[in-house]
Amino acid sequence: MKAVILAGGYGKRLRPLTESIPKSLIQIAGKAIIEWQISWLSRHGIKEFVVLIGYLGEKVKERLGDGSKLGVKVEYSVEVVPLGTGGALMNAYEYLKDEDEFMMINGDIITNLDVTKMFDVPREFVGAIALVPLPSPYGIVIFDETNKIKGFIEKPTIKDYWINAGIYLLRKEVFDYLPSKGDIERTAFPKLAEEGKLKAIRYFDVLWKSIDSHKDLEEADALLREMKQL
């Protein structure tokens, strides 16, 4: 099975870091985000990758090469102009046309969830989306019926609500739903959901971190150094 990594964005919220390197090459705990991702997926048996590059994409090519130094095979699909996540995937059709199914990963997440849990999705579904509990950005206060404060919980997960983890299993039929330009989250996914062709795969108690800000970088760096590896 191949995995597609979306690595073509500008990473505007991480400037000035992303003025000279693409977001996927930002270092966390001594390794680029995309290298963490490839190592994680490789441990789950995925050895072939299609990296969707755009902004400063040549630097990704220089860093990863053909993937051999990481023990995998890497190919590249290039966006000449920004196409959105759906358009970028459609642009990579030539690399995926012979695949019955493949993984797609947002290029700004760090996680240790077990992607093999997504491999057994019934054929009636065109895709599956990994979900994780909503992480609160704030600590919460615990109090009793008399309003006496009993304690504090630092940034809990809110287990009644689930968010898109940015990890997908997609089947070749998804290309019938993709735009030439636009985001898959706003085009193909709503249509597939309306037709009942998207499966939710829920993950409990996993490491998952989206790298959207400098604070996220600091927190992810501390987490990975503490864990030593994903």
Model confidence pLDDT, tens digit, residues 110-123: 999 999 999 999 99
Q: Domains of the chain by range and CATH?
A: 2-132+162-227 (3.90.550.10)
Spatial contact of 114 and 44, defined as CB atoms under 8 Å apart = yes
Q: Measure the CA–CA gap between 156 and 228, rounded to whole angstroms.
A: 23
Q: Measure the CA–CA gap between 19 and 55, rounded to whole angstroms.
A: 10
pTM: 0.88
DSSP letter string, 144-172 = -TT--EEEEESS-EEEEEEEEEEEEEEEG
Model confidence pLDDT, tens digit, residues 10-48: 777 778 877 888 989 988 888 899 999 999 999 999 999
Alpha carbon distance, N-terminus to C-terminus of the chain: 21
Catalytic residues: 155
Q: Measure the CA–CA gap between 203 and 29, rounded to whole angstroms.
A: 24
